[in-house]
Structure 1
Amino acid sequence: MEIRVKSGEKLSVKQSLFYGFQSVLACNLFLGPIVLIGIFQMNVQQSAAFIGMTFLACGIATLIQSGFFLKMQVIQGVSFAALGAIVAVVMGGGWQTLVGAVIVSSIFIILLGALRIFSKFVRIFIPGLIAGTVIIVVGISLIPVTFSSVVNLPGNANVNFFLAGITFVLLLIFMRLGHMKNRFAKILSIGGIIYAIVIGTVIASFFGQVNLEPVKEAAWFALPKVLPYGAPKFDIASIIVFCVIMIVVMIESVGTWFTLTELSGEKVDEKRMDRGVVGEGIGVLIGSFFGGLPITSYASNTGVLVLTKVFSRYAAFGAGVIAVVMAFCPKLLYLIAVVPSSVIWGVYGIVAISVFMSGITSIKKYPSTERNNLIVGISVMMTIGVGLLPAAMVGAMPGVLSYFFQAPIAIGSITAIILNLVLRARPEDQAPEPEKVTEVQPEEVVQAAV
């Protein structure tokens, strides 16, 4: 794949902010908090504060990872694998209990990285085929979310689908323009996500889906509170659950990192992987003091990179700066919030497809044997199946199982890991030797991550 800007290449401040803003929009950092706002029925003031805290936590974590630890183009956002556990803990023990569990579990993750345990876990349990399967699982879980989210939007369903479809097509056009041999077309392709969102929002305004009143009324500046829910409470059961959840979240992140190595040709060796684990743990720990939630490296950003082909970590640093600034400026938060959800989901559809296809690409080097097909197929089946289970059935499961079965990505990933151990690999199941010897091959990266 053509790479326009490599990971280590510097960008100007304007370029960093431009590409970073594109990632902030496409990754839809609002989505996690908006889901929880709906579940807990927060009022306008609570919602604004909650979104601000989330952006601050995500921005800090992104700056830490892209600037100092993993040093790759990763955007940190609230993990959907943790949402079920978040709801269960808050309902049972309150926000203070959740914060206590997140603090302890983030320290646990930091120790796994600092003691170089996590990379050993990856070597044993997540070889190249499993890493690719995890990426596919992430993409598979994102695709139906796009459709179901548009279906469940308030208002006229036909209008919502029309706006999502228009934005989807606009982004496709900008992507294809990038293949033309002129500079103007390349500019349109690189900034395609922003342009599609802007045009989609303008079209949506004719259907009454853009309301600027909240932007006018919002304050320009607001200070986030430290420990907004009060002193944390430490409940052993909640802490154990979140330690397990954080491992699943890290597996989700590692899948994203492997996707980046596939796309960019970069290395993630033992030292870098453990450093990334430490960075993610520190980001979650700092964010928890501002009411932040478990955070992961967003797979949706890899979809953005497939479209822009700009892998510079300075773009992620720009995204982190933007997220932090927005946390201190409610007016900017509301300015992004006025973008209709139908428009965002139109973009998200392309992003989900890109993530899914990058997973397919990463496993193509492996032969289509019965064992390999079973691992990929069963993992995909479990991901889709768990997402279709009735809420009442999931809620009736024992506590820990209930947490996991509310997270299809976690179930799909765990299924792949277990099948890899149960169905022992034979020589004919391995990738051909020539694919594994060159220094920059992703398979070499995966096997060396120990």
Structure 2
Amino acid sequence: MEEVKRDIVLDVEDVPKVGQWITLSIQHLFAMFGATVLVPFLVGLSPAVALVSSGLGTLSYLLITKGKIPAYLGSSFAFITPIIAAKALGGPEAAMIGCFAAGLIYGMVALIIQKVGLRWLMNLLPPVVVGPVIIVIGLSLAGTAVNMAMYDPQKKYSVTYIIIALITLAVTIICNIFFKGFLNLIPILMGIIVGYGCSAIAGIIDYSPIQKAKWFQMPDFMVPYVTYTPTFSWEVIAIMVPVAIVTLSEHIGHQMVLSKVVGRNFLEKPGLHRSILGDGAGIMIGSFIGGPPLTSYGENIGVLTMTKAYSVYIIGGAAVAAIIFGFNGKISAVISSIPTAVMGGISILLFGIIASSGLRMLVDNKVDFDKKRNLMIASVILVLGIGGAFVQLSETVSLSGMALSAIVGILLNQILPDREKISEDIFGK
């Protein structure tokens, strides 16, 4: 990967002036805010804890990568369905144990990459496998988005809800397509704000929790052996681990894009093993306090592209601001008061974008579907994943949906003949 010289405002190690520091850090916080609080909203976790875990995870990431990579970690959408499934099996506590296990997988992969390099991982997870799995992640959530947009809390069809959802969706699309500058980078937040305003006019918001909330309020942390006694479940592990393997591919893609934007090869220095370890540590820290798994955010890469201010101090400032927001009871109450119609409108677009990003991966990597092996692999992954297939391994352990489709896809790619070699370009050489 060739390093490119660019006109920059602040380089990675530069310390910004105080006013610039605060402004640019808040900008990064707003860019990730909407998506980061949406994930806990959908899976029934605390948005305040998600903000705190996002901030702590980002700070640990910056520490592990030696302050060399300006990346912000926010809530991962890939884990929405697994967290919901894990909660159904053993409650939120079981989901947190599963998330912690996903972080451990990141750590093990980082160790292997440090010892033997990256090629094995790219051979295990080529675009023909990862692309369809990402499509499954998006489309498996489609029903959730539509139901949120159409039905009120009593599960009755509501014209008011669907209109608010469509307005929210329209504003988000308009901001993303037609607005310029910073507003173009926060379409989710703009959609939520306008949708919330429409909900207020329609009279479907309960303001009493906001009025009762304190300005400083301890988030609802879930800490093992403090608020609950952790229990190990192979079934939860079987749900979480395959998704972690797939999101590693997403992480590598973000690192490659970030390297091009900043003009440095982060895969070589400080090394992909460090960035993966930093991401995994963030996941483990978040799960230890009750937050969702984390991932590097494309929105924040977009902010870096726009501002050309690559300072890790700005990223660290955004992380500190997220932690402060997490302890603000009023902000947490406002987030919790957002009607499902608003989040449904946002989710229609976001989940579709996840599925479309899987298609984009296939197109960008020129996956040839004239080749029978590629067609077979993608077809099986899509039907198993979206169809909800499962394999009952024992009374308590089963592989289902996304996890099963990912594993079958990996096996088919290894077994079927004429497997393509990985291009050297992907390793930055």
Check 1:306–1:221 CA distance in 2 against 1; reply closer, same or farther (3 A cut). Answer: closer
Alignment of 1:269-284 (within 5 A): 269=267, 272-284=271-283
One-letter amino acid of the structure 2 residue matched with residue 75 of structure 1:
G
Superposed, 1:24-39 pairs within 5 Å as: 24-25=33-34, 27-32=35-40, 35-36=43-44
* Aligned counterpart in structure 2 of residue 20 of structure 1, from 29, 32, 39: 29
In the TM superposition, residue 153 of structure 1 has moved relative to its aligned partner by: 4.0
Conserved? CA contact 2:39–2:292, under 8 Å: no
Match of 2:408 in 1: 415
Aligned equivalent of 1:171: 172
- Partner in structure 2 of residue 372 of structure 1: 374
2:17 is matched with none
1:361 alignment partner in structure 2: 360
Question: Residue 148 and residue 120 in structure 1: after superposition, are their counterparts in 2 closer, same or farther (change >3 A)?
Answer: farther
The whole-number CA distance in structure 1 between the counterparts of 2:211 and 2:138 is 37
- 1:227 equivalent among 220, 223, 230: 223
Task: Say if 2:244 is the partner of 1:250.
Answer: yes
- The Cα RMSD (Å) is 4.1
1:319 to 1:177, Cα distance in 2 relative to 1, 3 A: same
Alignment of 1:180-329 (within 5 A): 185-223=180-218, 227=223, 230=226, 233=229, 238=233, 240=234, 244-260=238-254, 266=260, 269=267, 272-290=271-289, 292-293=290-291, 295-297=293-295, 301-302=297-298, 320-329=319-328
Superposition deviation, residue 205 in structure 1? 1.2
CA contact 1:302–1:355 (8 Å) conserved in 2: no
- Which amino acid is 2:22 matched to? V
CA distance in 2, matches of 1:313, 1:137: 36
**TM-aligned CA deviation for residue 84 of structure 1:** 2.2
Aligned-residue identity in percent? 19
Take 1:60 and 1:99, find their aligned partners in 2: how far apart are those partners?
Answer: 16
Distance 1:261 1:105 in 2: 19
Residues 187 and 226 (structure 1), Cα distance of their counterparts in 2 relative to 1, 3 Å cut = closer
Deviation at 1:7, TM superposition (A): 12
Q: Is the 8 A contact 2:133 2:382 kept in 1?
A: no
Question: Using the alignment, how far apart are the partners of 2:354 and 2:196 within structure 1?
Answer: 24
Gaps of 5+ in 1: 38-49, 179-184, 438-443
Call closer, same or farther: CA 1:119–1:137 in 2, change over 3 Å.
farther
Q: Measure, in 2, the Cα distance between the counterparts of 1:242 and 1:313.
A: 38
Name the SS for the 2:37 alignment partner.
Answer: coil
Shift of 1:221: 1.2
**CA shift for structure 1 position 158:** 1.7
The one-letter code sitting in structure 2 at the alignment partner of 1:415 is V
Query: Which string of whole-angstrom CA distances, capped at 9 and with x for unpartnered residues, describes residues 102-154 of structure 1?
Result: 66774565344235379565233112332333333333334343213324442
Whether 2:391 is the aligned partner of 1:398: answer no
Q: Which amino acid aligns with 1:425?
A: D
Q: How far off its partner does 1:163 sit?
A: 0.9
User: In structure 1, what residue type is equivalent to 2:40?
Assistant: G
* Per-residue deviation, 1:333: 0.8
Displacement after TM superposition at 1:384 (Å): 1.0
Letter in 2 for 1:383: G
Shift of 1:306: 7.5
Scaled by the length of structure 1, what TM-score is found? 0.72
Q: In 2, distance between residues paired with 1:34 and 1:360?
A: 24
Equivalent residue letter for 1:375: I
Q: TM-score under structure 2 normalisation?
A: 0.75
Amino acid at match of 1:381: V
For residues 88 and 10 of structure 2, what CA distance do their matches in structure 1 show? 37
